[in-house]
Amino acid sequence: MNLIGHHEVARKLSDRTDNYDYYLGSLIPDFIGMWRLHKTFDLISNPELRAGIRLHQKTDTVFDDLALVRLLKRQMINSFKEFMTKWPAVKCGYIGIDILFDNNFIKDESAVEAYDRTMKEAASGQIYLGNVASPPEYLQEFLIRFASYGLPRYDDSEIVARIIYRRLEITGKCFDYLLVPQLATAIEAFQAPVLDIGQLVMHETLEQLATGNSYLY
């Protein structure tokens, strides 16, 4: 699941709307993951921030294991393997599903606000609370530029393809940029199915997370 989806999960599972640290924690692992700093979570002392991070991690586990999500990922990966090698196709499939699901929540004002705020926090380096290591300078520069663009149009397959490409570039799993047009064309077929089942997937995710959810606090 991607940024906006993670915020929606946190918002729907908690009525603590004034708890900024909790919501921030539910979003930041995606950024920290880009910089391969997962182990630095142990350095965070703020309990609300840690609770948000735990929610993010649990949400990813539940979301990725849902039958509908697994089926769509397999289909997307097989589609991408027609014009790229296996490993990039797998990575593009996983990232692509996450990004496409954001389109389900793009009209939610609170989700859009959380996205914009988090991008600014990440770009400025403020996202690293509790002595978490700072990202390399070039990545901060990239996020500053990315944040200035505003919320991407997730219903535009070319934009989605470019975001996936940049995510792969950041994580060191890059493929030829010349493949972006083909990636955009292939993604087009998955826009509608993801949108159609988006609310069902969110409902199933929330149901599973709400079962025995003492870990949230």
Q: Quote the pTM value.
A: 0.82
Q: Is residue 210 part of a domain?
A: no
Tell me the mean pLDDT in the region 108-126.
74
Q: What is the DSSP string of 113-169?
A: HHHHHHHHHHHHTTT--TTPPPPPHHHHHHHHHHHHT-S--TT-HHHHHHHHHHHHH
Give the residue ranges of DSSP H helices in the chain. Answer: 3-13, 20-25, 29-34, 47-65, 67-80, 86-102, 109-124, 137-148, 157-170, 180-210
Q: Is the model more confident about 69 or about 46?
A: 69
Tell me the mean pLDDT in the region 152-167.
87
Q: Is residue 54 part of a domain?
A: yes
If phi > 0 it is left, if psi is from -120 to 50 it is alpha, else beta; for residue 36 that is left
Q: Which of 7-11, 183-187, 200-204 has the lowest mean pLDDT?
A: 7-11
Q: Domain span at residue 129?
A: 3-204
Which residue, 216, 193, 214, is CA-closest to 72?
193
- The pLDDT assigned to 214 comes to 43
Q: Is residue 209 part of a domain?
A: no
Place of tokens 């703020």: 46
Q: Is residue 138 part of a domain?
A: yes
Q: Is residue 214 part of a domain?
A: no
- The pLDDT assigned to 76 comes to 97
Q: Is residue 129 part of a domain?
A: yes
Q: Is the model more confident about 13 or about 115?
A: 13
Q: Is residue 216 part of a domain?
A: no
Q: Over pLDDT 70: what percentage of the chain?
A: 79
Helix axes 3-13, 109-124, angle to 10 degrees: 120
Q: Is residue 67 part of a domain?
A: yes
pLDDT band at 32 (very low <50, low <70, confident <90, very high): low
CA-CA distance, 79 to 180, in Å (whole number)? 14
pLDDT band at 148 (very low <50, low <70, confident <90, very high): confident
CA-CA distance, 76 to 59, in Å (whole number)? 21
- Per the structure, the count of domains in the chain is 1
* Confidence check: pLDDT of 90 > 60: yes
